[in-house]
Amino acid sequence: MTSSINSGRTCDVLVVGSGVAGLATALAAAHQGLDVIVAEQEAHFGGTAAISAGWAWVPGNPKGAAATGDTREEVETYLKALAPDTYNEAGVTAFLDTVAEAITFFEDNTEVNFVYPDKAPDYQMDLPGARIGGRAILPDDADARMLGERRHELQPYLSSYTVFGYMPQVGPDLNKVVQANRSLRAFCYVAGKLTRTWFDALVHRQPLKRTNGSALITRMVRSALDAGVTVWTATPVEALEQDDTGAITGAVLGGVHSGTVHARLGVVLAGGGFTGNTTLRRKHFPHDVTGDNHITPTIGHNGSSAEMAITAGGRISDAVFTPGSWAPVTEFRQLRDGRQRLFPHLRQIGLPGMITVDRTGRRFGNEALSYHDFGRQLLEHDKDHDDTYAWIIADAACMHTYGIGYAKPWPIPRKYFHDIGFLIKADTLAELAGKIGADPVTLEETVTRFNGFARSGVDEDFGRGSTAYNHFRGDPTHKPNPNLATLEKAPYYAVKIRMGDLGSFAGIDVDGHSAVIDDDGQVIPGLFAVGSAAVSVFGGGYPGYGSHIGPALIFGYRMGRDIARLKQRSASRAG
Ligand SMILES: Cc1cc2nc3c(=O)[nH]c(=O)nc-3n(C[C@H](O)[C@H](O)[C@H](O)COP(=O)(O)OP(=O)(O)OC[C@H]3O[C@@H](n4cnc5c(N)ncnc54)[C@H](O)[C@@H]3O)c2cc1C
């Protein structure tokens, strides 16, 4: 990486942030022949998108719709049911109008390719218009070498998600990994993947096979470089430049390429949300008025996009029914240096033999909902407390078969997971209750009652295991209900979860063209926001797998496609 001082570098479009929204904008703008700079504050490009599973919720994508017969009417019905009071008609219309065109653009004009799983149920299968498949898609795997030397600037994987360095694709690949302690075939498959990963790490200093969000970013950056986009890392955008008319004309950059960049058509804020910004969290997250009741696994979501928009006259919109995209997270310390590490529980807590209890030892909701809807339950349950937390509880059988998140199942030794403070173990439920500060009698009663539900296959308290989505999060081989098994084999285990997120849903207020608007609803010329930086297009609802990356891809594409026309629109209004 070479450093340079920009004394008055000019481009057409300056993009803040190299996540999925920023790169989608850059790709579509460069395709129009525009000169684009993407400035990324981190030493690595890709942001949270690069550590994500890479799913994109894009209903109406040509292959998915053709395979399932999905209709626009059904999608709208579902989205209205999901967020009835905050349904964003203009945003949803813009989104659905563009999905097919954008996905076709990426597949036909860039290195980005998608995989189309048959089954990826919407998160609220009990609502009208929900579908079991066809709407959520995944990026195809990639080889890091397609980035040449710039592969070393690719955001590394979230290490707590890798299996000894290997990152399984969240799909059939991951299903094999979780079967590896129960099937010789799956074991050999995983052994092959690990051998390859370790070889690459040794010889190439990086696992070359990229999956999930990392594959998406690899493919997007390759395409951006091919299209002539300038991608700078370690270069934070620090302040916007605004002229006398209030129009945004460029920005001041710090870091490796510090200086001023003039942007003829405008600046696109794609720097992610504000969940890493204590001040903004305290203001917009009701559970975090203290500023220390939330931990985010996102990368670079420091709220700088929001702050720059506010300074320029913009505002944060809270017109969403949940201000964040919730995810339970476990915090632990790295043994080597005590550094904080996080494990977001996005997949597992609806598996048989695992429950979650509150601080007293009581269940409080359906554990097989999505992480977001589970998070909503926890926030509601803990609303009278300053600290939001719960415990995952499992018995020895569950631990042996599935593990609990980062704490891997048999045959992986457990000592390490105890030493880092991830896993708590006890010989009896009463002893476990003592260790986690819960009431022993309450915890025993909770488990006894749940065991009854597991035997009958019906959770009478919270309906766990009652929808296709619940079952998808369970173990399909487990009978009678893929989400329910008794907890009766000692020892017992507990893992603490706190509230975290995958991005914010409250965000910079924009019009249907992603133009940032002020308190009077007037467009600030030359300033745009896409991705997690902008307010949620789904009104704070979380429709299904890929509810961040879907809109980030689509609105990023629209932004790049339309920015020249939008500039003319605001210039003619001003004239
Ligand atoms: C473990 C995990 C799994 C996930 N899986 C999925 C999934 O499968 N599907 C899905 O839809 N969502 C998923 N998410 C959420 C999703 O990844 C993010 O919400 C999404 O990446 C947001 O895209 P973005 O482009 O807005 O932000 P990001 O991808 O986070 O990119 C923003 C970038 O902007 C940079 N930046 C910020 N401020 C500045 C500045 N001032 N100057 C320069 N650069 C700046 C940041 O450093 C960052 O690199 C997941 C999240 C996590 C943590």
**Which of 57, 301, 502, 510 has most ligand 1 atoms within 8 Å of CB, for mutation?**
502
State the pLDDT at residue 177.
82
On whether the CB atoms of residues 194 and 203 are closer than 8 A, the answer is: no
Q: Which helix (H) or strand (E) holds 101?
A: helix 89-109
In the numeric block, which tokens belong to residue 539? 């009104």
Measured in angstroms, how far is the CA atom of residue 39 from the centroid of ligand 1? 14
**Which of 549, 553, 559 has most ligand 1 atoms within 8 Å of CB, for mutation?**
549
State the pLDDT at residue 1.
47
Angle at 181 between CA 179 and CA 185, to 5 degrees: 65
- Whether the CB of 154 sits within 6 Å of ligand 1: no
State the pLDDT at residue 571.
65
- Whether the CB of 53 sits within 6 Å of ligand 1: yes
Task: Kindly report the protein residue whose alpha carbon is nearest to atom 50 of ligand 1.
Answer: 52
- Whether the CB of 64 sits within 6 Å of ligand 1: no
In the numeric block, which tokens belong to residue 152? 């070393």
Kindly write down the DSSP assignment for every residue of 22-68, as one continuous string: HHHHHHHHHHTT--EEEE-SSSSBSTGGGGS---EE-TT-HHHHHHH
Name the CATH superfamily housing domain 231-323+505-574.
FAD/NAD(P)-binding domain (3.50.50.60)
- Residue 141's SS3 state is coil
- Whether the CB of 51 sits within 6 Å of ligand 1: yes
Closest Cα partner for 177 from 165, 164, 190?
A: 190
Closest Cα partner for 541 from 48, 95, 170, 138?
A: 95
Q: How far apart are CA 9 and CA 112, in angstroms?
A: 30
How big, in percent rounded to 5, are the helix, strand and coil portions of the chain? 35, 20, 40
In the numeric block, which tokens belong to residue 554? 């689509």
Closest Cα partner for 475 from 402, 554, 369?
A: 402
Task: Kindly report the protein residue whose alpha carbon is nearest to atom 41 of ligand 1.
Answer: 237
Measured in angstroms, how far is the CA atom of residue 214 from the centroid of ligand 1? 11
CATH architecture of 325-501: Alpha-Beta Complex (3.90)
- Whether the CB of 236 sits within 6 Å of ligand 1: yes
State the pLDDT at residue 7.
64
- This model's pTM is above 0.75: yes
State the pLDDT at residue 573.
59
Which ligand 1 atom sits closest to the C-alpha of 47? Answer: 49
Which residues in the chain land under pLDDT 50? 1, 575
- Whether the CB of 267 sits within 6 Å of ligand 1: no
Q: How far apart are CA 102 and CA 122, in angstroms?
A: 21
Which ligand 1 atom sits closest to the C-alpha of 39? Answer: 43
- Whether the CB of 91 sits within 6 Å of ligand 1: no
Q: How far apart are CA 14 and CA 433, in angstroms?
A: 54
In the sheet with 56-57, reading across from the earlier edge strand, the strands are 56-57, 136-139, 114-115
Report DSSP state, residue 156.
Answer: P
- Whether the CB of 255 sits within 6 Å of ligand 1: no
Instruction: Locate the domains of the chain by residue range.
Output: 231-323+505-574, 325-501
Measured in angstroms, how far is the CA atom of residue 548 from the centroid of ligand 1? 8
